[in-house]
Amino acid sequence: MEKVKIFTDSCSDLSKDLREKYDIEYVKMNTVYNGEEKEANLDWVEYTPKEFYDIMRNGERITTTQVPSQVFETEFTKVLEEGYDIVYIGCSSKLSGSVEMGKVVSKNLLKKYPDRKIHCINSLNACMGEGLLAIKASQFREEGMNADEIAISIKKIRNNVNQYATVHTLDALKRAGRVKATSAFFGNLLGVKPVIISNTEGDNVPIKKAKGRFNSMQEIVNLTVENITDADDQCVYITHADSKDDAVELEKMIKAKLPNIETYIGYIGPIIGASIGPEALAIFSFGKSVEQYNV
């Protein structure tokens, strides 16, 4: 059987236990704060979550980089030397240039390793939406699929990743250019909270608004429940930007509607966190195609 290594990147927010469980590698991006560049480690090596999000709570900005070409070259070469093919599931190309950089590096590496295969896939998602696809790729591998088959299968289901997120404010997203300017309508007026999805193009777009934090939480739970498919055969992932109590409350709300559902709570990591800001919450699952939100 052909050996396949699954890669993702720092945007996927896959915690160490999930990466180990599903045998997934990741290539690191970087954060930049006060002119200092640090690896965006998903295990919070450079910062604790509170330290990281407190910087933003104080009104300061953290910026990010895509995966450097040398990181791709180093990490991909290691596994190519071991006889693996590669499937890299990267952050939406609307949010990062990493997938394109991965393709450039892969093209050069394949000249040296012509018998190997490398697929660099635009997930059209980020955070645990991207992570969900990496996990699914791992499961496809366990079913015996080769790299080509995994790539085809992932592309077929990437628009079935359902992301329903809400943020404390749109400030961080607007500063980072991660939400369209036309979305200013949602603003911070009178405590209005947006519900944000990742659409068919991989853009973050608001689709609804709710008055107040609790109502926005109810809204993303309701949307998840309304659109989830095969609820008994999947895990729903809840992520938070240093707001664990609210994430636990979301879990209770979901289980009240879907008592048998498996859930997992994790942090929104440094790369996504730098764009979405503290107190953000999101729920991820497989469900109806996000084509339903096309206008």
- Alpha-carbon gap, residue 120 to 85, rounded angstroms: 11
Longest Cα–Cα distance of the chain, Å, equals: 59
Q: Among residues 97, 132, 158, which one ends one of the domains?
A: 158
Residues 190 and 120 both lie in one domain = no
Rounded Cα distance, 65 and 169, in Å: 23
Query: Which has the closest alpha carbon to 163: 246, 287, 253?
Result: 287
DSSP state of 59: T
| pLDDT tens track for 192-225 | 888 999 999 999 888 998 989 999 999 999 999 9
Q: Across-strand partners of 8?
A: 26
Query: Average pLDDT of 279-288?
Result: 98
Token pair belonging to 212 = 């107040």
- Residue 166 and residue 151 in one domain: no
The last residue of one of the domains, among 132, 158, 184, is: 158
Nearest to 284 by CA among 225, 216, 238: 238
Are 177 and 147 contained in the same domain? no
Q: What share of the chain is helix, strand, coil (3-state, %, to 5)?
A: 45, 25, 30
Residue 181's pLDDT band (cuts 50, 70, 90): very low
Find the helix or strand (DSSP H, E) in which 76 lies: helix 69-81
CATH of the domain at 270: 3.30.1180.10
Which of 158, 182, 202 is where one domain is finished? 158
153: pLDDT strictly greater than 80: yes
CA dihedral sign, ordered 178, 292, 166, 8 = negative
Instruction: Tell me what pLDDT residue 1 has.
Output: 73
In a shared domain, residues 206 and 277: yes
Least confident range of 59-68, 172-181, 209-218, 285-294: 172-181
Q: How many angstroms separate the CA atoms of 203 and 199, rounded? A: 6
pLDDT in tens, 84-109: 999 999 999 999 999 999 999 999 99
Domain count within the chain? 2
Asked if residue 26 lies in contact with residue 14, where contact means CB atoms within 8 angstroms, the answer is yes
Q: Is residue 136 located within the same domain as residue 205?
A: no
Residues 63 and 119 in one domain: yes
Assess whether 133 and 149 both reside in one domain. yes
pLDDT at 188 over 90: no
Distance of CA 232 to the CA centre of its chain: 22
- C-alpha 122/C-alpha 91 separation (Å) is 6
Question: Where residue 45 sits, what CATH number does that domain have?
Answer: 3.40.50.10170
Helix, strand or coil, per DSSP, at residue 34: coil
Residues 150 and 179 in one domain: no
Query: Do 170 and 150 fall into the same domain?
Result: no
Distance CA 124, CA 184 (A): 23
**145/17 same-domain check:** yes
Residue with tokens 């809840």: 238
The owner of tokens 């729903």 is 236
Round the average pLDDT of the chain to a whole number and report it: 93
Instruction: Answer yes or no: do 107 and 84 share one domain.
Output: yes
Residues 8/26, Cβ–Cβ less than 8 Å: yes
Structural tokens at position 134: 């990496």
The pTM of this model reads 0.94
- Indicate whether 17 and 122 sit together in one domain: yes
Q: Which domain holds residue 227?
A: 160-293
